[in-house]
């Protein structure tokens, strides 16, 4: 992927997030920036986590869907994988993946699920991002 493509996709993502906040009455609100920043950073952490685990385990890199492949790991295998992660990478649990939230977006109290997910990630990675 070229730098220009990445920049264009980033701007498109931010525009879409702004559209969502605007649709729910948060456009040009002080919280709009906070929400967009949190969502953007969450997406970045998910992408970086996926990249890192693929570097650690070639089987995940070769898989059509690394999340499906990693779901086959036992709890012990998953923990061992997390221990091999670079020290500056966020550790995510399976219920922290973007796909998990996407698959649960239509459930009641989704906003609570999203907030809880961000809070859990912060607590789990407090030693990395104090």
Give the count of beta carbons closer than 10 Å to the beta carbon of residue 105.
9
Using CA atoms, how far apart are residues 13 and 3, in angstroms rounded to an integer?
15
pLDDT tens for 3-52 read 668 788 888 888 888 888 888 777 777 788 888 888 888 988 999 999 99
pTM over cut 0.75 = yes
Q: Are 53 and 66 in contact (CB under 8 A)?
A: yes
Using CA atoms, how far apart are residues 59 and 43, in angstroms rounded to an integer?
23
Quote helix, strand, coil % in the chain, to nearest 5. 70, 0, 30
List the chain domain ranges.
Answer: 37-124
- pLDDT of res. 19: 84
Helices (H) and strands (E) in the chain, counts: 7, 0
pLDDT tens for 60-95 read 999 999 999 999 999 999 999 999 999 889 999 999
Residue 98 burial (C-beta neighbours within 10 Å; 0-12, 13-18, 19+): middle
């Amino acid at each position: 992927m070229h730098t220009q493509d990445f920049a264009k996709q980033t701007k498109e993502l931010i525009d879409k997030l702004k559209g969502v906040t605007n649709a729910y009455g948060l456009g040009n609100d002080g919280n709009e920036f906070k929400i967009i920043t949190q969502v953007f950073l969450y997406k970045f952490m998910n992408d970086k986590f996926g990249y890192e685990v693929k570097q650690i385990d070639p089987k995940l890199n070769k898989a059509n869907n690394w999340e499906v492949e990693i779901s086959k790991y036992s709890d012990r295998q998953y923990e061992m994988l997390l221990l091999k992660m670079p020290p500056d990478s966020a550790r995510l649990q399976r219920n922290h993946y973007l796909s998990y939230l996407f698959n649960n977006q239509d459930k009641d109290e989704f906003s609570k699920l999203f907030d809880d997910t961000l809070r859990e990630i912060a607590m789990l990675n407090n030693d990395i991002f104090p």
